[in-house]
Amino acid sequence: MQISKRATGRFALLVGAIAGVLAPTQSKAAVIGIDFFGGGGSGASTQMGAGETAGVIPASNWNSFTPNVQATPQPLYYCTGAATTENVLVVTALETDADHFRRITGDFGIEITEQTMEMPHLQVQGPRSRELLSAVTDADVAGLRYFRFLTEPVSVCGEPCYVARTGYSGELGYEVFCEPGDAEQVWQGLLDQGASMGIRPYGLAAVESLRIEAGLIFIGFDYFPGVTSPFHVNLDRMIKLDKGDFYGKQALQAELDAGITHRMVTLVIAGEDAPDYNTPVLSNGRGVGKLTSPSAGRSPTVDKLIAMASIEADLAEVGRQVEVTLPDGRLVPALVDQFPIYDPEKSRPRS
């Protein structure tokens, strides 16, 4: 499959419940789903998350994770707050995440229910996503700020939907949540409206390309619940040790005090042969980390063979040379580059 370059300003991506293997091109667009569940109470969110959830602005979203008592992340998730603090949507990845949340919020008297099948989820992503979504709703999508959401359902393609300015592409984008019976109408309406923009579905291979360029970590590849240190995948930006008490805080503080041993970097790999996932990274013959997520071929935007890797912190400097192992056992050189390699300031999704 050929993965085309990112658009520089001419396409929208529709990402929702289909896993077709089509890629976005300069005038195309696309579809995928995310599991989530609902609960109640910002107090519980504050207690369970390592990030800053207390005093969050109504109608805002926030990324966080819940550490366990060993300081390793259990779920990695983002919360969608509400106009009140009575209800919170938590977008996460595994069914077992709900069980973990229930264990650590048992004293709050809240109910956690899985809503995945009740709220189909589409993503509208890319430089023209604002234009596309504005054409199918009367809501002020253009005025919706980054990581904010509309607190009441609005009409999208004639159906009631919640809309958030979030996504998993490294581009400007939105997420749309609707009722199951309305999903087909919303899906088709977006495809019809986006036809003049060259919109088309795409699948997980294209998502992999986008997320590795943008440095978006993925469960089961870059981090493993209950195993991976958040500091090793650069999640310390989401850890607020100066906030109130939360589950796993002492373990996180102890790890930070002991010193961060590994950091996530982008590797630019020599040659044209892609390494496997979870490939050893070496320096002078010594194992110094793991290559977690490789691009399947040359990254379409930067035109390099790249990968995400967690390596020893003192080697995580731009320009440092290491080696990675190919599937046939050969070692090839790789250079440490900035993480992420594409739009490190996230100016595109913030635009």
| Residue pLDDT, tens place only, 88-132 | 666 766 777 778 778 877 787 878 888 778 888 888 988 899 999
Residue span of the structural domain in which 135 resides: 13-33+120-211
Burial environment of residue 98 by CB neighbours within 10 A (0 to 12, 13 to 18, 19 or more): buried
Among 30-34, 276-280, 333-337, which stretch is predicted with the lowest mean pLDDT?
A: 30-34
Query: Are 128 and 165 in a shared domain?
Result: yes
pLDDT for res 58: 43
Q: Is 185 helix (H, G, I), strand (E, B) or coil?
A: helix
pLDDT for res 97: 76
Task: Look up the CATH number of the domain holding residue 182.
Answer: 3.30.1360.120
Which carries the bigger pLDDT value, residue 169 or residue 20?
Answer: 169
Which carries the bigger pLDDT value, residue 252 or residue 67?
Answer: 252
Query: 10 Å Cβ neighbour count for 22?
Result: 18
Binning pLDDT at 50, 70 and 90, where does residue 21 land?
A: very low
Q: In angstroms, what CA-CA distances link 37 with 23, 56, 149, 300?
A: 29, 19, 17, 34
Binning pLDDT at 50, 70 and 90, where does residue 319 land?
A: very high
Token pair listed for 298: 């040359």
pLDDT for res 93: 64
Query: Are 219 and 201 in a shared domain?
Result: no
Last residue of a domain, one of 167, 182, 211: 211
State yes or no: pLDDT of 309 exceeds 90.
Answer: yes
Query: 10 Å Cβ neighbour count for 236?
Result: 18
Burial environment of residue 30 by CB neighbours within 10 A (0 to 12, 13 to 18, 19 or more): buried
Enumerate helices (H) and strands (E) in the chain, giving the number of each. 7, 16
State the total domains in the chain: 2
* CA proximity to 121, closest of 21, 17, 10, 27: 17
Last residue of a domain, one of 211, 237, 272: 211
Binning pLDDT at 50, 70 and 90, where does residue 238 land?
A: confident
Question: Is residue 87 in a domain?
Answer: no
Question: Is residue 63 in a domain?
Answer: no
pLDDT for res 88: 66
Last residue of a domain, one of 157, 185, 211: 211
Binning pLDDT at 50, 70 and 90, where does residue 62 land?
A: very low
Query: Are 308 and 240 in a shared domain?
Result: yes
Question: Is residue 79 in a domain?
Answer: no
Binning pLDDT at 50, 70 and 90, where does residue 72 land?
A: low
pLDDT for res 74: 52
Binning pLDDT at 50, 70 and 90, where does residue 66 land?
A: low
pLDDT for 175-194, tens place per residue? 999 999 999 999 999 999 99
